[in-house]
Structure 1
Amino acid sequence: MRAICVASAALLGAGALALAAPAAVAATGGERGTASFGFDVSPTTVAAGGEVTLNVWGCATEAKVFSSAFDPVVIPKGQHSATATVGWQAEPGTVKVTFQCEGEYGNKDLTIEAGQQSGRGQSHMHAQKGVKAGAGGTIAGFDPGDIGLGLALVMGSVGAAYHWSHRRTAEEDN
């Protein structure tokens, strides 16, 4: 009987964690504004000629992505990502990437890095300050309030499961 209580507590905790995770991911996704879908560009900094991955979630139809840095991209219904190649003619600086889903729009910034032109018109990158790496699994970009709320929800559900499993065990012993 003890194994059932422990398994129930573990499943309740895992369920609470699974329910809290999508909200945390969606909160850090795109600059949603009034859009009811999520979107992201990865990486956010790229050289001319480089590739970016365009991600969309929560869109029930096909999504369209537009930018002056690359040709328009369509992410078919049922898929969540596509790649785009930044044109060699892209000027260094920040450009807007616009995501469209069911008449709603959302924007994300993409930074084009400066390169050095070669004789054939292709850009070659020269690192000046080292490689700009991503967050690498850290909590970069998360709001401490969101982290605290999520942790409180998970800990509360684990605590409630522990309480109920031990309470029931005590009642059965009598």
Structure 2
Amino acid sequence: MRAAIRVAPVALLGAALALTAPSAIADAAMSGSASSATGFTVTPSVITPGSQVTLAARGCPTTTTAGSGVFDTVTIPRGRSVAATVDWDARPGTSYEVTFICDTSPDSPARSGLTIAAPSHAPTTGATVAAAGVGGGLGGGIGTTSTVKTAAGTALALIAAAGAVYLARRHWESRAH
């Protein structure tokens, strides 16, 4: 019995890590940003014409200039991000290149991709839609996880498991006397 009590926390820790690792991987995959290894990012990487894209240049110690064929050239201050509006005439299904030029190394620009999606159009028939019930689903849970939240949830699960093991151990020790 004592061996089972000693093994239980290790098994619970392994289970918690096995359950939270896929969540962290999925969060990284669903973030929707294109980035290079140097810290230049375009978020989201797929966007509709007329929408705004966020550009960040965390790999440059000074200001950065970013430009593309689908938005005006913008200047990104050190450690910040800026928004750029994609032109309305950007062709859906086309991928455009975003070029980041760091002021400290203008001869070696970084590049990232931006894909234009088909714009979503609301129905133009003028028909009204009857009010439906509350939309079910995940309640905004998709896309809102982060590594910090995952780690905090794992820590709470481990604390709860350790508390359960402690209480069970006290219970069995008190029954043995």
TM normalised by structure 1 equals 0.45
**Structure with greater strand share of residues:** 1
TM normalised by structure 2 equals 0.45
| Structure showing greater Rg | 2
